Amino acid sequence: MNGLGGLNKSENGVVIGLVQLQLPVTVTRDDLARQTKRIVELVGKARRNNAGMDLVVFPEYALHGLSMDTNPAIMCDLDGPEVAAFKAACAEHRIWGCFSIMERNPGGNPYNSGIVIDDQGALKLYYRKLHPWVPVEPWEPGDLGIPVIDGPKGAKLALIICHDGMFPEMARECAYKGAEIMIRTAGYTAPIRESWRFTNQANAFQNLMVTANVCMCGSDGTFDSMGEGMIVNFDGTVIAHGVTGRPDEIITAEVRPDLVREARAGWGVENNIYQLWHRGYVAVKGGAMDCPYTFMQDMVAGTYRLPWEDRVKVTDGTSCGFEKPTRTFGETLAAAAE
């Protein structure tokens, strides 16, 4: 199915390129402009690398690096010059692109946002990370849900970011909304390597969904990101894997959304996303269509509470140097100051 990294493209194939981007250091507006230019150059490299590539994916923190700097001077806007440059690059090279920005938020902390731009330069997907990597990351919790779009060749496409992928509910939500390909961008460093690998595979298999996953790569003098571009088929098989850890390498593979659709319709054994709502359909007509999961019921009721809740020791970002927050979710800075 890989088609030699997409070199032998099939009629129904979607070729994905994952850029294991060199981890940058971004402190000033000039640094931001320099890194924007570098990403634009790599969009061109992706097109030259593989004439049949449909989608090029850049990792989380591709512009801003891992400093967790919330300096307003280097934050981005959807209508800002960085996104404009990405749109122009996708249009010039006739390729879809997935990009990462730290997005300005006048009402609170910046958002960790991801965007997908089509091969005409139009913004098609806009997502804010739902699960910042606490207690390390200072980003505002996302508030846009998980959008699913018609991507290259009509494939249903979703995007989640880094720590999002450690929650099986995130991948399940993508698939429930129809995603056939789920992108996961990240800035993870080496200690997360094994967790990264098995969650990328589990997210694919449990939902009969292709996952395309990539981290930053190389060192910024402090942190060492791991690259680890992974494209996983809907049966959990890894079909491309960037194991060399070479910065700016583009990991490619062809995936087949049509076979995802075929499996979702035709599989009996392990069609888990269908069987979640049709438990035991061999014994009872249509299966049991209930919600036996207490945590789901409690989340909807607003009463979610772990049995060990009172013993949890890390509940804010003070251990990582951030001030204890005073705002509640949805409350703006201005409202909290009143």
pLDDT of the residue at 128: 98
From 60, 140, 173, 180, active-site residue: 60
Residue range 105-125: mean pLDDT, rounded = 97
CB 15 within 8 A of CB 241: no
CA distance 322 to 286: 51
Backbone torsions φ then ψ of 116, nearest 5 degrees: -125, 130
Q: What does pTM read for this prediction?
A: 0.96
Q: Which domains does the chain show, CATH number per domain?
A: 3-270 (3.60.110.10)
Q: Is 82 a catalytic residue?
A: no
Residue type, 143: D
Rounded to an integer, the average pLDDT of 220-233 is: 95
Strand ranges (DSSP E) for 135-236? 148-150, 156-161, 181-186, 210-215, 217-219, 224-226, 230-232
5-63: pLDDT as tens digits: 778 888 999 999 999 999 999 999 999 999 999 999 999 999 999 999 999 999 999 99
The CA distance from 60 to 157, in Å, is 17
Does the structure show a pLDDT above 60 at 65?
yes
Helix 193-205 to helix 168-176 angle (10° resolution) is 30
Mean pLDDT across the stretch 114-134?
98
Closest CA to 175 of 145, 204, 216, 138: 204
129 among known catalytic residues? yes
Judge residue 247's burial from the number of C-beta atoms within 10 Å of its C-beta, 0-12 exposed, 13-18 middle, 19 or more buried.
middle
Q: How far is CA 269 from CA 117, 172, 265, 273, 306, in A?
A: 37, 18, 12, 11, 33
pLDDT of residue 1: 55
Residue 323 designated active-site: no
Cβ neighbour number for residue 27 with a 10 Å cutoff: 15
Place of tokens 């909807």: 300
Whether residue 96 has pLDDT greater than 60: yes
pLDDT at 198 over 60: yes
DSSP annotation of 213 reads E
**Active-site choice (98, 129, 156, 249):** 129
Residues 235-281 have pLDDT tens digits of: 999 999 998 889 999 999 999 999 999 999 999 999 999 999 999 99
pLDDT of 305-333, one tens digit each?
999 999 999 999 999 999 999 999 988 88
- How far CA 150 is from CA of 21, 138, 331, in Å, comes to 26, 31, 33
Task: Put residue 290 in one of left, alpha, beta given phi > 0 → left and psi -120 to 50 → alpha.
Answer: beta
pLDDT digits (tens, 9 = 90+) for 137-194: 999 999 999 999 999 999 999 999 999 999 999 999 999 999 999 999 999 998 999 9
* Range 175-197 burial, b when 16+ CB lie within 10 A, else e: beeebbbbbbbbbbbeebeeebb
Catalytic residue among 76, 90, 98, 162: 162
